Amino acid sequence: MPYAYTGDPAALIATAKKAMGNQGELEGYLKSWMSLRDEFAGYVKNSSTAGAIQTTMDSAHNSGLKLAKTLQDIIDVLRDTGNKVDTTDMENAARVNQAVQLGTNNKVDTGSWA
């Protein structure tokens, strides 16, 4: 079921920008995680333990990448919705202005609306 957003498009765009910063931070942590994984591998002497640690760290990294992708999808929806709402608001404002200009005595003539 579609949801009709009636809020401020600038708020959506601002939220998307803030989320982009959070996503960038997440990506930084994921890069650090891989560096730590490689560094940690040198300290573990038992090969089966080292392999289990590497597998677990790789799995955590992959989960982080999936989270980053989901976050990007959310950011895209926020940004696109904010832009779409803003465009729709401007189009509707133009229609109201046109109707007022076509009306008489500053009354809106809704008969011209399609």
| Averaged pLDDT of the chain | 79
> What pLDDT is attached to residue 88?
66
> What pLDDT is attached to residue 1?
53
* CATH number, residue 48: 1.10.287
Question: Which amino acid is located at 17 in the chain?
Answer: K
- Would you say residue 2 lies in a domain? no
Q: Which domain holds residue 78?
A: 9-112
- Would you say residue 24 lies in a domain? yes
Q: If you write DSSP's letter for every residue of 28-57 in order, what string do you get? A: HHHHHHHHHHHHHHTT---HHHHHHHHHHH
User: What's the total number of domains in the chain?
Assistant: 1
30 close to 61: Cβ distance less than 8 angstroms: yes
Arithmetic mean of pLDDT, 66-86 = 82
- Would you say residue 21 lies in a domain? yes
Q: pLDDT tens digits for 19-62? A: 888 888 999 999 999 888 888 878 888 888 888 888 999 999 99
Best CA proximity match to 65, nearest among 26, 18, 20, 22? 26
pTM of the model: 0.62
Arithmetic mean of pLDDT, 83-110 = 63
In whole angstroms, give the CA distance from residue 63 to residue 61: 5
